[in-house]
């Protein structure tokens, strides 16, 4: 199965604004939210699953499909926001995060591939590689160093099996928490003589030196449309 779709950031951690991010970033290169609640933000996903559907014995020697399948999945999710008016004296400012996800999970399906319609639900455990970048003040760039996090996802949807073919069309809604485990805070590195921070950690954990700071949840609600081939 392959699919693609759009995403809506779910938690308050993901729904900050570029202006708020710029204010935090200017004060010690820290931030309390990610700016994807801004009206100019863009989010999309793409990926696929390889699944094995178990069989069930109806009677001695006669088998049918089980409701259960096991699957492995790969998904890419991209969040980005840009606005030339946010950072002063600049014409190219943006913040982006890319999440590469590997999933091991299970699916429960109502009906057989021979049926015209199936409803299904999926749950999975995710391993996520998160990276990103910040562009500001014409050409200054700060890279977010790669971070591994672990999370989970839950998905519900429906599948239309095209008659007389091994093909199906799927539509689903998925909730993913990409950093349930592994959150960490790393103080920004000492600046070089040019006063430009070239890289920083994801810093999704709470800043121990800031009593008002809380850890940041990277999560989203995805709307997906895809296709499946049975073999």
| pLDDT greater at residue 82 or residue 226 | 226
Query: Quick one: tokens of 164?
Result: 């007389």
pLDDT band at 61 (very low <50, low <70, confident <90, very high): confident
| pLDDT given for residue 165 in this prediction | 96
Distances 217 to 4, 86, 137, 152 between C-alpha atoms, Å: 23, 24, 28, 12
Cβ contact 2:48 at 8 Å: yes
Cβ contact 87:22 at 8 Å: yes
Average pLDDT over residues 51-66: 85
pLDDT tens for 106-139 read 999 999 999 999 999 999 999 999 999 988 766 6
pLDDT tens for 164-221 read 999 999 999 999 999 999 999 998 876 655 567 788 899 999 999 889 899 999 999 9
Sorted by sequence, the CB contacts under 8 Å of residue 171 that are 6+ apart come out as 157, 158, 224, 225, 226
Q: What is the DSSP letter of 188?
A: P
Model pTM?
A: 0.91
| pLDDT given for residue 29 in this prediction | 78
């Amino acid at each position: 199965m392959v699919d693609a779709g759009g995403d809506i950031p779910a938690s308050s951690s993901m729904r900050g604004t570029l202006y708020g991010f710029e204010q935090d970033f200017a004060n010690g290169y820290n931030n309390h939210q990610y700016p994807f609640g801004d009206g100019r933000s863009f989010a999309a996903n793409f990926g696929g699953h390889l699944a094995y559907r178990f069989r069930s014995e109806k009677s001695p020697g006669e088998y049918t499909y089980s409701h259960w399948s096991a699957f492995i999945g790969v998904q890419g999710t991209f969040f980005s926001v840009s606005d030339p008016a946010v950072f002063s004296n600049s014409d190219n400012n943006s913040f982006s995060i890319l999440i590469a996800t590997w999933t091991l999970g299970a699916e429960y399906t109502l009906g057989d591939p021979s049926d015209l319609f199936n409803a299904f639900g999926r749950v999975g455990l995710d391993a996520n590689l998160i990276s990103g970048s910040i562009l500001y003040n014409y050409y200054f760039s700060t890279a977010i160093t790669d971070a591994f996090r672990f999370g989970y996802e839950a998905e519900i949807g429906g599948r239309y099996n095209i008659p007389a073919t091994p093909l199906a069309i799927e539509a689903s809604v998925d909730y993913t928490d990409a950093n349930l485990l592994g959150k960490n805070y790393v103080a920004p590195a000492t600046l070089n003589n040019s006063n430009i921070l070239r890289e920083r950690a994801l810093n999704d954990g709470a800043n121990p030196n800031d009593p008002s700071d809380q850890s940041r949840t990277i999560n989203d609600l995805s709307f997906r449309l895809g296709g499946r081939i049975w073999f």
